[in-house]
Protein backbone atom coordinates (compact mmCIF):
# COMPACT_ATOMS: atom_id res chain seq x y z
CA UNK A 1 0.00 0.00 0.00
CA UNK A 2 1.25 3.47 -0.75
CA UNK A 3 2.17 5.27 2.43
CA UNK A 4 2.13 9.02 2.64
CA UNK A 5 3.41 10.78 5.74
CA UNK A 6 2.01 14.09 6.83
CA UNK A 7 0.61 16.05 9.72
CA UNK A 8 -2.73 14.62 10.73
CA UNK A 9 -5.40 17.32 10.73
CA UNK A 10 -6.97 15.99 13.88
CA UNK A 11 -4.15 15.07 16.29
CA UNK A 12 -1.50 17.20 14.60
CA UNK A 13 1.12 14.42 14.72
CA UNK A 14 3.32 13.38 11.84
CA UNK A 15 2.05 9.98 10.78
CA UNK A 16 1.07 7.98 7.74
CA UNK A 17 -2.17 9.48 6.47
CA UNK A 18 -5.10 7.52 5.22
CA UNK A 19 -7.38 8.44 2.38
CA UNK A 20 -10.74 9.14 3.92
CA UNK A 21 -14.17 10.10 2.66
CA UNK A 22 -15.23 13.72 2.88
CA UNK A 23 -18.90 12.77 2.79
CA UNK A 24 -19.29 9.44 4.51
CA UNK A 25 -19.30 6.24 2.49
CA UNK A 26 -22.75 5.29 3.79
CA UNK A 27 -24.19 8.39 2.13
CA UNK A 28 -23.06 7.38 -1.33
CA UNK A 29 -24.17 3.83 -0.81
CA UNK A 30 -27.60 4.42 0.64
CA UNK A 31 -28.94 7.46 -1.09
CA UNK A 32 -26.68 8.91 -3.72
CA UNK A 33 -25.18 6.35 -5.99
CA UNK A 34 -27.30 4.26 -8.28
CA UNK A 35 -25.92 0.80 -7.56
CA UNK A 36 -27.46 -0.68 -10.70
CA UNK A 37 -25.26 1.63 -12.74
CA UNK A 38 -22.03 0.90 -10.90
CA UNK A 39 -22.57 3.58 -8.29
CA UNK A 40 -23.17 6.53 -10.61
CA UNK A 41 -24.72 9.73 -9.36
CA UNK A 42 -25.05 13.32 -10.45
CA UNK A 43 -22.27 15.31 -8.82
CA UNK A 44 -23.57 18.75 -7.92
CA UNK A 45 -20.22 19.80 -6.49
CA UNK A 46 -18.24 19.61 -9.69
CA UNK A 47 -17.88 22.52 -12.10
CA UNK A 48 -19.39 20.52 -14.92
CA UNK A 49 -22.47 18.55 -14.05
CA UNK A 50 -22.15 14.95 -15.19
CA UNK A 51 -22.92 11.45 -13.97
CA UNK A 52 -19.93 10.10 -12.08
CA UNK A 53 -18.96 7.50 -9.53
CA UNK A 54 -16.16 9.57 -8.07
CA UNK A 55 -16.37 9.80 -4.30
CA UNK A 56 -14.50 12.69 -2.74
CA UNK A 57 -11.59 11.66 -0.54
CA UNK A 58 -8.62 13.37 1.05
CA UNK A 59 -5.50 12.36 2.96
CA UNK A 60 -6.07 14.27 6.15
CA UNK A 61 -6.11 11.88 9.08
CA UNK A 62 -3.95 9.18 10.61
CA UNK A 63 -5.32 5.73 11.28
CA UNK A 64 -6.43 6.44 14.85
CA UNK A 65 -8.07 9.74 13.97
CA UNK A 66 -9.82 8.20 10.98
CA UNK A 67 -11.43 5.79 13.44
CA UNK A 68 -12.20 8.57 15.92
CA UNK A 69 -13.82 10.81 13.33
CA UNK A 70 -16.14 8.06 12.16
CA UNK A 71 -17.63 7.20 15.56
CA UNK A 72 -20.90 9.07 14.96
CA UNK A 73 -21.49 7.62 11.51
CA UNK A 74 -23.48 4.59 12.54
CA UNK A 75 -26.00 6.76 14.42
CA UNK A 76 -26.27 9.14 11.48
CA UNK A 77 -26.63 6.33 9.00
CA UNK A 78 -29.47 4.73 10.96
CA UNK A 79 -31.18 8.08 11.36
CA UNK A 80 -31.00 8.78 7.63
CA UNK A 81 -32.36 5.36 6.82
CA UNK A 82 -35.27 5.87 9.19
CA UNK A 83 -36.08 9.30 7.74
CA UNK A 84 -36.09 7.97 4.19
CA UNK A 85 -38.45 5.19 5.23
CA UNK A 86 -40.80 7.23 7.38
CA UNK A 87 -40.76 10.68 5.74
CA UNK A 88 -40.07 14.19 6.94
CA UNK A 89 -43.40 14.86 8.65
CA UNK A 90 -42.33 13.93 12.17
CA UNK A 91 -39.61 14.47 14.75
CA UNK A 92 -36.76 12.01 15.03
CA UNK A 93 -34.96 11.18 18.24
CA UNK A 94 -31.18 10.99 18.07
CA UNK A 95 -28.45 9.79 20.43
CA UNK A 96 -25.05 11.19 21.40
CA UNK A 97 -23.61 10.07 18.04
CA UNK A 98 -25.29 12.89 16.10
CA UNK A 99 -23.29 15.74 17.64
CA UNK A 100 -20.13 13.82 16.87
CA UNK A 101 -21.23 13.21 13.30
CA UNK A 102 -22.35 16.82 12.70
CA UNK A 103 -19.10 18.15 14.16
CA UNK A 104 -17.06 15.87 11.94
CA UNK A 105 -19.09 16.96 8.87
CA UNK A 106 -18.62 20.67 9.64
CA UNK A 107 -14.88 20.19 10.22
CA UNK A 108 -14.39 18.15 7.05
CA UNK A 109 -16.41 20.65 5.05
CA UNK A 110 -14.30 23.58 6.32
CA UNK A 111 -11.10 21.71 5.39
CA UNK A 112 -12.46 20.71 2.02
CA UNK A 113 -13.75 24.15 1.04
CA UNK A 114 -10.42 25.69 2.04
CA UNK A 115 -8.26 22.94 0.54
CA UNK A 116 -5.13 24.49 -0.96
CA UNK A 117 -5.66 27.87 0.68
CA UNK A 118 -5.25 29.10 4.26
CA UNK A 119 -8.33 28.80 6.46
CA UNK A 120 -9.58 32.10 7.82
CA UNK A 121 -8.08 32.89 11.26
CA UNK A 122 -11.53 33.80 12.47
CA UNK A 123 -12.47 30.12 12.36
CA UNK A 124 -9.51 28.84 14.41
CA UNK A 125 -11.27 28.81 17.81
CA UNK A 126 -14.21 26.84 16.36
CA UNK A 127 -12.00 24.33 14.58
CA UNK A 128 -9.96 23.84 17.74
CA UNK A 129 -13.05 23.09 19.81
CA UNK A 130 -14.45 20.78 17.14
CA UNK A 131 -11.20 18.82 16.97
CA UNK A 132 -11.12 18.48 20.75
CA UNK A 133 -14.68 17.18 20.74
CA UNK A 134 -13.91 14.69 17.97
CA UNK A 135 -10.90 13.43 19.91
CA UNK A 136 -13.08 12.99 22.98
CA UNK A 137 -11.15 15.65 24.91
CA UNK A 138 -14.36 17.53 25.56
CA UNK A 139 -18.02 16.59 25.53
CA UNK A 140 -19.60 19.68 24.01
CA UNK A 141 -18.79 22.25 21.34
CA UNK A 142 -19.78 25.31 23.40
CA UNK A 143 -20.69 28.38 21.34
CA UNK A 144 -19.55 26.67 18.11
CA UNK A 145 -22.73 24.66 18.08
CA UNK A 146 -24.07 22.29 15.45
CA UNK A 147 -27.67 22.44 14.25
CA UNK A 148 -29.68 19.98 12.25
CA UNK A 149 -32.91 19.77 10.25
CA UNK A 150 -34.60 16.96 8.41
CA UNK A 151 -34.97 18.00 4.81
CA UNK A 152 -35.92 16.41 1.52
CA UNK A 153 -36.02 19.11 -1.10
CA UNK A 154 -37.22 19.10 -4.69
CA UNK A 155 -33.87 17.64 -5.64
CA UNK A 156 -34.78 14.41 -3.86
CA UNK A 157 -32.91 12.67 -1.09
CA UNK A 158 -29.61 12.16 -2.86
CA UNK A 159 -27.90 15.45 -2.18
CA UNK A 160 -24.41 15.86 -0.81
CA UNK A 161 -23.19 19.41 -0.66
CA UNK A 162 -21.24 21.88 1.41
CA UNK A 163 -20.83 25.62 1.57
CA UNK A 164 -19.38 28.26 3.86
CA UNK A 165 -21.21 31.56 4.18
CA UNK A 166 -18.33 33.76 5.32
CA UNK A 167 -20.30 36.88 6.08
CA UNK A 168 -22.57 35.00 8.46
CA UNK A 169 -19.87 32.73 9.87
CA UNK A 170 -21.40 29.31 9.31
CA UNK A 171 -20.74 26.15 7.36
CA UNK A 172 -23.63 24.18 5.92
CA UNK A 173 -23.49 20.51 4.88
CA UNK A 174 -26.13 18.35 3.22
CA UNK A 175 -25.97 14.62 3.74
CA UNK A 176 -29.06 13.15 2.11
CA UNK A 177 -32.04 13.98 4.33
CA UNK A 178 -29.95 15.84 6.93
CA UNK A 179 -28.96 19.46 6.74
CA UNK A 180 -26.32 20.55 9.21
CA UNK A 181 -25.26 24.06 10.17
CA UNK A 182 -22.06 24.62 12.18
CA UNK A 183 -21.25 27.96 13.78
CA UNK A 184 -17.73 28.91 12.71
CA UNK A 185 -17.63 32.18 14.61
CA UNK A 186 -19.74 31.27 17.63
CA UNK A 187 -22.44 33.51 19.03
CA UNK A 188 -20.55 36.75 19.26
CA UNK A 189 -22.74 39.80 18.56
CA UNK A 190 -25.79 37.64 17.99
CA UNK A 191 -29.18 38.96 19.05
CA UNK A 192 -31.10 37.12 21.75
CA UNK A 193 -34.02 36.54 19.41
CA UNK A 194 -31.73 34.90 16.90
CA UNK A 195 -30.16 32.69 19.56
CA UNK A 196 -33.62 31.66 20.70
CA UNK A 197 -34.68 30.54 17.22
CA UNK A 198 -31.31 28.93 16.60
CA UNK A 199 -31.40 26.92 19.80
CA UNK A 200 -34.45 25.00 18.64
CA UNK A 201 -32.34 23.09 16.14
CA UNK A 202 -29.23 22.77 18.30
CA UNK A 203 -27.78 19.28 18.54
CA UNK A 204 -27.30 18.31 22.17
CA UNK A 205 -24.41 16.18 23.35
CA UNK A 206 -26.65 13.75 25.17
CA UNK A 207 -29.28 13.37 22.47
CA UNK A 208 -32.62 14.97 21.64
CA UNK A 209 -34.86 15.14 18.60
CA UNK A 210 -34.64 16.82 15.21
CA UNK A 211 -37.44 18.08 13.02
CA UNK A 212 -38.00 19.61 9.62
CA UNK A 213 -38.17 23.34 9.01
CA UNK A 214 -41.64 23.98 10.37
CA UNK A 215 -42.11 27.72 10.30
CA UNK A 216 -40.51 30.54 8.43
CA UNK A 217 -42.29 33.88 8.52
CA UNK A 218 -40.92 37.37 8.05
CA UNK A 219 -41.49 40.46 10.16
CA UNK A 220 -43.03 40.35 13.64
CA UNK A 221 -44.36 36.85 13.19
CA UNK A 222 -40.77 35.62 12.85
CA UNK A 223 -40.82 34.81 16.55
CA UNK A 224 -42.54 31.51 15.70
CA UNK A 225 -39.76 30.44 13.35
CA UNK A 226 -37.59 27.42 13.95
CA UNK A 227 -34.94 28.50 11.44
CA UNK A 228 -33.10 31.81 11.26
CA UNK A 229 -33.32 34.10 8.23
CA UNK A 230 -29.63 33.67 7.32
CA UNK A 231 -29.92 29.89 7.04
CA UNK A 232 -33.19 30.05 5.15
CA UNK A 233 -31.68 32.48 2.66
CA UNK A 234 -28.77 30.12 2.14
CA UNK A 235 -31.10 27.17 1.48
CA UNK A 236 -33.24 29.13 -0.96
CA UNK A 237 -30.15 30.25 -2.88
CA UNK A 238 -28.77 26.73 -2.96
CA UNK A 239 -32.05 25.38 -4.17
CA UNK A 240 -32.41 27.85 -7.02
CA UNK A 241 -28.81 27.33 -8.09
CA UNK A 242 -29.27 23.57 -8.03
CA UNK A 243 -32.53 23.86 -9.97
CA UNK A 244 -30.82 25.94 -12.67
CA UNK A 245 -27.95 23.53 -13.03
CA UNK A 246 -30.21 20.52 -13.12
CA UNK A 247 -32.52 22.00 -15.70
CA UNK A 248 -29.55 22.79 -17.97
CA UNK A 249 -28.30 19.22 -17.49
CA UNK A 250 -31.76 17.82 -18.18
CA UNK A 251 -32.00 19.62 -21.51
CA UNK A 252 -28.82 17.96 -22.67
CA UNK A 253 -29.24 14.51 -21.12
CA UNK A 254 -32.83 13.55 -21.45
CA UNK A 255 -32.45 9.77 -21.22
CA UNK A 256 -30.17 9.75 -18.18
CA UNK A 257 -32.41 12.20 -16.37
CA UNK A 258 -35.48 10.01 -16.78
CA UNK A 259 -33.69 7.08 -15.16
CA UNK A 260 -32.38 9.19 -12.31
CA UNK A 261 -35.77 10.72 -11.67
CA UNK A 262 -37.39 7.30 -11.53
CA UNK A 263 -34.91 6.26 -8.88
CA UNK A 264 -35.33 9.40 -6.78
CA UNK A 265 -39.10 8.92 -6.78
CA UNK A 266 -38.68 5.46 -5.34
CA UNK A 267 -36.43 6.90 -2.64
CA UNK A 268 -38.50 9.94 -1.71
ZN1 LIG B 1 -4.24 11.75 13.99
| CA-closest candidate to residue 27, choices 158, 193, 137, 128 | 158
Q: What is the mean pLDDT of residues 72-100?
A: 93
Q: Is 77 in a helix, a strand, or coil?
A: helix
pTM higher than 0.75: yes
Q: Give the number of other Cβ atoms within 10 Å of residue 157's Cβ.
A: 19
Q: 159: closest CA among 173, 170, 174?
A: 174
Distance (Å, rounded) from C-alpha 111 to C-alpha 106?
9
- CA of 163 relative to ligand 1 center, distance in Å: 25
- Centroid of ligand 1 to alpha carbon of 13 (angstroms): 6
- Ligand 1: distance of its center to the CA of 129 in Å? 15
190-206 pLDDT, tens per residue?
A: 999 899 999 999 999 99
Q: Which residue has the higher pLDDT, 89 or 259?
A: 89
The whole-number average pLDDT for the span 14-30 is 90
208: Cβ–Cβ under 8 A, 6 or more apart, which residues? 93, 94
pLDDT tens track for 203-260: 999 999 999 988 887 777 777 789 999 999 998 888 888 888 878 777 877 777 777 6
Separation of CA 108 and ligand 1 centre (Å):
14
> Average pLDDT in the 110-130 region?
95
| Opening angle at CA 17, ends 16 and 19, nearest 5 | 145
Higher pLDDT, 38 or 231: 231
Rounded to an integer, what distance in angstroms lies between the CA atom of residue 43 and that of residue 55? 9
CA-only gyration radius of the chain, Å: 18
State which residues form the domain around 120. Answer: 4-267
The predicted-structure confidence for 131-176, as pLDDT tens digits, reads as follows 999 999 999 999 999 999 998 776 666 778 889 999 999 999 999 8
Ligand 1 centroid vs 265 CA: distance in angstroms? 41
Centre of ligand 1 from the C-alpha of residue 104, in Å: 14
Distance from Cα 204 to the centre of ligand 1, integer Å: 25
> From the CA of 8, how far away is ligand 1's center (Å)?
5
Q: How many domains does the chain have?
A: 1
Amino acid sequence: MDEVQGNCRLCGQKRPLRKSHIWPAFAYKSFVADQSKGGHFLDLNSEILKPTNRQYKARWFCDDCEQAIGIGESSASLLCKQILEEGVGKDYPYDEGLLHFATSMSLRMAYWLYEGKPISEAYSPALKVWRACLRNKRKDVGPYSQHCFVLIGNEGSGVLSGQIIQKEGFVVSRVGPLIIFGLLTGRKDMSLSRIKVQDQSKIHAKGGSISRITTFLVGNRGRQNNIIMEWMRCLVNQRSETANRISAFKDQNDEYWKQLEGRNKRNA
